[in-house]
Chains A and B, each alone.
Chain A
């Protein structure tokens, strides 16, 4: 996968610099490996999220009808492209624009990155661009970034906080910007201008790489693709809250998933009983005594039943059925389990 492509690329380039080769190589490689693992994992996430993301995208705000069409068209196109990977020139005007837009960057790079599953290709623009960025970062920009790898990270450190906030914004803006690009695309009939546009829109990544090479620095600019990296690799456990706070509805799911590695442990898992503030165990979390959705632990529920028997969330009486079941907690649990196992057996 991704990790395979890195050593192949990095070794020959690095070997041109024999002195600190071994040292650098080791440092870089460990960093790269670590990162490529993370990249791979991220792509996994993306491919998971994408299926939902695609469905959601039209619904959740920001994108309009045109974007929907674009997404559909791209999907269709990408299916074609999967059969005949590169080029696919000059079929119809409008479709061609999209193919221009999609094929050179995201496809090649995602091929490079070993983005295998078919669903990945049909991804939204967000997904493909970011996945391509990861691929690009690993394979393409090795030469310069190798030397700056460590410094990068330090520089980017400061940017992480900004980046976390900025990614959200940028990604939100990405869809509108695509729209405008498409409009532009349709207006411009010339091949050259089209290329220019496709270059521009195809990826901020390429541009950013260029900039990096030009300046010999890795600046902040395309946070939308760069931010993930340092953020993934070096993010401290204290940071994830930041992204949580700034997360926009459109990307919130993705953030949540990404945070699940780090953040959700501290944010989501300690589900506490609101009454006694003890952790809710598995039985408690699947225990929903009232239709209002107010959860509490079995102990507190039992206590309440001994008194007025009303739900703390809505003040309605807990219904009698639940009360009876609750009277024998263990028995109730047992029957539930039995029911489950029975259904399993009957299915198989």
Chain B
């Protein structure tokens, strides 16, 4: 947890600096308070996600770190991604939910808005992020992004070009799909 904190603070110095001024003690207490509230939020999100029973999405924290989750999304019915399942990683910053989590595809995904490294171009994960979003809404958004890509700003131009031909696209998805075990 401590390592997590320091790592995240270095990621987001802008927010960390003004909140915690000079004295070391206040810094640490503020940090723990922050961590506590993030913990609480993540725990209740986990509960909500498990209780919601949404089909096709799931997520769970990694073994010992609640700031890192693994999620899965299944391709929606009647899309070219039907029948495929994708693993994602979500890593939450220390100032979550005021900052969005970093979400990446772990399973390769042939999609106009996903690059070869699994990075996702989705507005709500960047500038359109709102602290009212949670893991569930993120996963649902990504799931719907699969079926409705934003062709105008693609990360994967090949996929964007092929999107108009759904049959070919489907074949490509099947060809490139390597489910992780």
Contact = CB atoms under 8 A, between A and B. Distances in A.
Contact of A307 (B15, B37, B44): B15
Contacts of A272: 44
B131 A275 contact: yes
Contact of A304 (B18, B43, B98): B98
B41 A276 contact: yes
Contacts of A274: 132
Given A303-B98, A306-B19, A315 B130 contact: yes
B16 to A, nearest CB: 11
- The majority secondary structure among interface residues of chain A is loop
B97 A275 contact: yes
A68 B10 CA distance: 69
Given A275-B41, A276-B41, A307 B132 contact: no
Nearest to B41: A277
Interface in A254-279: 272, 274-278
Contacts of B24: none
B132 A294 contact: yes
Contacts of B171: none
A313 B98 contact: no
Nearest to B45: A277
A277 B44 contact: yes
Given A275-B131, A312-B132, A315-B128, 11 more contacts: A272-B44, A275-B98, A277-B41, A277-B44, A278-B40, A300-B98, A300-B131, A304-B131, A312-B130, A313-B130, A313-B132
Which 10 residue pairs of A and B lie closest in terms of their CB atoms, listed nearest first? A312-B132, A277-B44, A312-B130, A312-B131, A276-B37, A277-B41, A275-B131, A277-B40, A276-B41, A274-B132
30 contacts: A274-B132, A275-B41, A275-B98, A275-B131, A275-B132, A276-B37, A276-B40, A276-B41, A277-B40, A277-B41, A277-B43, A277-B45, A278-B37, A278-B40, A294-B132, A300-B98, A303-B98, A304-B131, A306-B15, A306-B18, A306-B19, A307-B15, A307-B98, A310-B130, A312-B130, A312-B131, A312-B132, A313-B130, A313-B132, A315-B130
Interface of B: 15, 18-19, 37, 40-41, 43-45, 97-98, 128, 130-132
